[in-house]
Amino acid sequence: MIAAMTNVQVCTHPLTQHLLTRIRDYQSPSGDFRRHAGQMSRFLVYEAMRDLSTRAAGVETPMGLAAGVVLTDYIVLAPVLRAGLVLCEAAQELFPNARIYHIGLRRDETTLQAISYYARLPESLPAESRVFILDPMLATGGSATAAISLFAEHGVSTIHLVSFVASPEGIKHVHSQFPEVMITTGAIDDCLNDNGYIVPGLGDAGDRLFGT
């Protein structure tokens, strides 16, 4: 793990980079893409949760007492539909009791604006919640900022964003509005093309996971 810029973590673990290479490959059949994306999601979620809070809790082993910890955070997973579901599945395996709030956002491919079509958040959330916005692609950053805003409006201040690939433009957009949001990603790519796609990126993540 290296910190490439403030509040950005690029997961440089060889396994993560191997999986990212597999999912970038335009020749990967959809089954392989999904499998590798699922595996990569586990590593990214694991890395994004590196600084979770714990409290000391002893545990009795068959041989005696050992020091241990229990996790204490109120964890919220917020997959951005559709592609964020792959990250959510991996996060859910690690945190079966996490609250999950799905965020439906669709990018208008002409204006590149994020259009909201679903968001079912509770009326209030504990201020100490730790929210993980899950979306493999951080392109213009419109979808990410829209998702983050929903939780910021609820008074939550600890918000993480987990992505497979981020563009420099997207990171800048998110941090211009929410500088405290920690972004964990598999790569920071070169740029966006005229259609708002990340180059070299991996194409349309939702389509590659679920079909056009």
Is 201 a binder of ligand URA (CB under 6 A)?
A: yes
Please say if 107 is a catalytic residue.
yes
Please list every residue from 170 through 199 that binds ligand URA, using CB under 6 A: 196-198
- Three-state secondary structure call for residue 143: helix
Is 139 a binder of ligand URA (CB under 6 A)?
A: yes
Q: Which is nearer to ligand URA, 87 or 139 (CB)?
A: 139
The Cα 141–Cα 196 span in angstroms is 10
The Cα 103–Cα 119 span in angstroms is 5
Q: Quote the tokens at residue 170.
A: 């997207």
- Three-state secondary structure call for residue 134: strand
Tabulate helix, strand, coil % of the chain (nearest 5). Answer: 30, 30, 35
- We find the least distance from the C-beta atom of residue 212 to ligand URA, in angstroms, to be 11
The Cα 82–Cα 141 span in angstroms is 16
Q: Which helix (H) or strand (E) holds 37?
A: helix 30-48
Enumerate residues 6+ apart whose C-beta is below 8 A from 92: 77, 98, 100
Please say if 111 is a catalytic residue.
yes
Please say if 207 is a catalytic residue.
yes
Is 135 a binder of ligand PRP (CB under 6 A)?
A: yes
Is 80 a binder of ligand PRP (CB under 6 A)?
A: yes
What is the number of the residue whose Cβ is closest to ligand PRP?
206
Stretch that binds ligand PRP, among 19-27, 69-77, 153-161, 198-206 (CB under 6 A): 198-206
Please say if 51 is a catalytic residue.
no
Is 204 a binder of ligand URA (CB under 6 A)?
A: yes
Stretch that binds ligand PRP, among 20-28, 67-75, 105-113, 176-184 (CB under 6 A): 105-113
Q: Which is nearer to ligand URA, 139 or 188 (CB)?
A: 139
The Cα 211–Cα 206 span in angstroms is 7
> Contact with ligand PRP (CB under 6 A): which of 37, 95, 134, 142?
142
Q: How far is CA 183 from CA 18, 117, 162, in A?
A: 20, 24, 6
Q: Annotated catalytic residue: which of 24, 42, 107, 208?
A: 107
Query: How many CB atoms are located within 10 Å of the residue 158 CB?
Result: 19
Active site positions, annotated: 107, 111, 204, 207
Q: Which residues contribute to the site for ligand PRP (CB under 6 A)?
A: 80-83, 105-107, 112, 114, 135-144, 170, 196, 204-206
Q: Which residues contribute to the site for ligand URA (CB under 6 A)?
A: 137, 139, 196-198, 201, 204-206
